[in-house]
Chains A and B, each alone.
Chain A
Amino acid sequence: MKIESVAVIGAGVMGSGIAAQIANAGKKVLLLDIVPDGAENRNIISQSAIKKTLNVKPAALMHKRNAKNITAGNLEDNLNDLGDVDWIVEVIIEQLDLKQELYKKIDAVRKQNCIVSSNTSTLPLADLIAGLPKRFANNFLITHFFNPPRYMRLLEIVVGPDTRQESVNTLTHFCDHELGKGVVKCNDTPGFIANRIGAYWMQTALLEAMRLGLTVEEADSICGTPMGIPKTGVFGLLDLVGIDMMPHVLQSMIHSLPKTDAFHEQAVIPDIVNQMIADGYIGRKGKGGFYRLNKSNGKKVKESINLMTGEYSISEKATLESLKPPIAKDLRKLVSFEDKGGEFAWSVLSKTLRYSAELVPEIGNNIEAIDRAMKLGYNWKYGPFELIDKIGVDWFSNKLSNDEQTIPPLLLAAKGNPLYRFDEKKRQSLNLAGEYQTLQQEDDILILADIKRDQQPVKHNPSASLWDIGDGVLCLEFHSKMNSIDPDILSMINIAIEIIPNKYRALVLYNEAENYSVGANIGLALFAANVAAWPQIEAMVKSGQGTYKALKYAPFPVIGAPSGMALGGGCESLLHCDAIQAHAESYIGLVEVGVGLIPAWGGSKEMLTRWMINPKRAKGPMPAISKAFELISTATVSTSAAEAKSHLFIRPTDGITMNRDRLLFDAKNKALQLVDGYLPPEESEISLPGATARTALNLAVTHFVQSGKATEYDGIVADQLAMVLSGGDTDITDLHSEDDLSALERKAFVTLIKQAETIDRVQHTLETGKPLRN
């Protein structure tokens, strides 16, 4: 069975977010909600929800046109349409009777084997299906998405005793491959995995910070980066998710957990928090929360609340001794350090990790699934059990004993051994019986980190490595600072080009950093500019051009596989690949004008030729030139891989992978598909109109400069870009080879980097990470 169409019932924030992600996967989705009393437009709720998905930040849709995949409807007129869909997701209010009533209606119209799932976060599956026919229960499960559904990778599913295995498999496959989620199977216990541990952790951190008298900044600094937790820490996170949801979560937990559960000890809402909620200080969506931006004096000032007095004052960076690098970078040192930061760290960590360990097997037998849920759902770098291994099972247990705390059974079963180990290259985890079990991995997943653990690189330098990923395919990994492209990376590309024809078959450009590459390393270019080393700068540009050109015409297929940002020189590396397999969350663009430069490693050239040969373009060279000019001169960055296709940063024929974990596998496959009978592309020649086109492009820019939307210097940079894209000093009868265009790129680049304004922009951006408008 395959899922081709879906219905989402409930068009609130979560429902419309889920619908949008299904639309992003290219599936038709019907979004239904109730008909408000006396409404003229009976689809008003779902229609306005679709409208909102077009504007919500961060964007729920990967491409505006995906909104067309969502059809609005209502539960009265469109009930029968549910009979056409393969999967129905219920995302209505958390009220058992309403849900059950809905399920009865659904069951009456759904087609046989149509899967029904609930996005509940608080109600047990057993209660949801109570009293419903078995045929319904056979196809029912809980699918618990996290907000926002496009970006949060965790999907918890709960399977009932009657749920058919085929329904589980179908839905898991769909959510994994098509929606890109990390699916974690959970037991039917309150809060499932992530929120059970997550809420306990947040409450503990909140209460302990108050007990020990830490400022919110201090608490977030400790309960953040040092523990591998995002730097929003706990208070920043509460502001983000909404402080007003705390009472609801706690209420539901208190209600459903046995009295013996340690959660109850932490399920207290301090008076100050109640007061904040009452006053509307519920976080970022309200007037502010533990932090707020005070704009009263015309300037935005970040303030934070005093947890004792409830008064706001200017936020001050935490300066605890325990936060200094040698301590904060070593968990053992941190939790043993004798200041309130160390005490807080131990208190929060010991309680949270101990609680997590005690929840085995209640919430799950498999500790790896629990770790994965915390990593995907709360963006922790390490799951609780990985954290215990980092501290050391014995060390942690001893310290618990010193505190006269009982040791959870799992840790006793470990007998001092680590919770994870590698046995014959397979990762294994410990179970309650003290046995190691090999973690199964699907065949169609390839993780570079695993490969790196098992083998030595084929080649290595400080910024890049080549890895053998099997079947004759090499993977070129960037690992310079922010994956910026530097001479070492260029040299590694050249090495790959040299060795692959003899011993290998194809190359994949891929890495597992947050961003594929933020661009060329312009620090050295800035230094060279400061010492007026113009020939060296030209040589640097030429070397990049030469390397990328060699990549393009290499006698083997080259696949680019980006995820996250691929900007500037990073984007240019992709433009020279034979094909791209992009993660859906790829943010691609040529942003050089921001630092007063133009793309000169073939970026301008490739964008121009792509738009020139685009079969859909209008006649004559001007539309293509204008399009490339527009994209580059405004430093357009695609907000998804889908949008990158529209801009031709990647080709219409290129692949998109929804699940980050499957990217390398897909990219390798794509490479292998191209191997047989591979021929490098043929060099193209184009004719360009020269000065007239340059004048036309500049005319448009002049308008922006005059209206103040662009600075005068923006105009000068744009003119250099226009010079390149129009073919320089030429006329329409001349043919331009790629090398001619490269020469124009170099000329424009060197002209611009000689300007004080460009040098100032580069320096400012490198020093502050922000653009300079001069």
Chain B
Amino acid sequence: MTAAKVAAGRSESGVLDRVEAARRRRPKLRDTHITSAHGAGGKATATLIDAVFLEGLRNPLLEPLEDAAVFTVDGTRLALTTDSFVVTPLFFPGGDIGDLAVNGTVNDLAVAGARPLHLACAVILEEGMAVDDLRRIVASMARAATDAGVSIVTGDTKVVQRGRADGCYVTTTGIGLVPADVRLGAARARPGDAVLVTGPIGDHGITVLLARGELDISADLSSDTAPLAELTSRLLEAVGAPADGPGVRAMRDATRGGVATILNEVATAAGVGVIVDEDAVPVRPTVRGACELLGLDPLYVACEGRMVVIVAPEVAEAALAALRSHPLGADTAVIGRIADDPPGMVLLNTAFGGTRIVDLLVGDPLPRIC
């Protein structure tokens, strides 16, 4: 079409190759101020982390940007991670900021292959917050910690003026033990590997969105927030994650940015293609319905108790069986595979029989007008 309009030598595939080359270049941070997009877990977040944090703090443990840093102290392998929680509302169906904060950090340790040991917890409270609410949150933290087999062993409390925080913010930091023979990382994905997701996606994100009460949509849905350490250790016991040979290659909990963001991180880190079959991705009808109404794609909606697992083809069946044997992995599904082409990209075979890209979003998914 309109070939005459196109400068000599420009073909669609030529242009797309140039686009891919541009995408591989390190993104530049052009923003002069922080916007909400920088907190959404997509491209804007990645650019900010790269340009400000990695640039200022660069070291070999930070550089892989995994969910937790893994290092050795006196022959013991430790995993260390931290996460802040700023959810509105503080209480939502299926959980609250308390268990979310414990589970989130437990899960970042678990997907690094670690057995979580201890947590630290810092809270920032807003003047005027009800002490009863705080009690409820702490009780829920205690329950989540017990469920995950960890203790909260140290902490900090600060209070800010009214209007300076949304009720309360919570930061948790966790430390865990990593078995000597476990080697995990998004960069370890290889063509032929299977891509698994451990249950229906998007429950948490849609639950919280609806719980804000701004949309006049109600649904019987609750957050999937849960500690994944038992599930990951059962998986690692079954198939292992050896440095050489078949096993689990990578695990990631699909929080902010959803499954799509994780898959893009894998594609980029390992320089592989990720091929996903839309039909195979588990999504509850309620979540699908809400996403249809709101113009959102469930692949980008946050989960708090689901992970993406990349596993060698030889042990994929065994991994599936191990995950399904645990209640938190009962609905595990194989959603796709790793391919050598197209490198750095996630492709979706749509249920309609077509193909499209699943890219990183810039910021939060924006609802469409009509």
Q: Do the two chains bind?
A: no
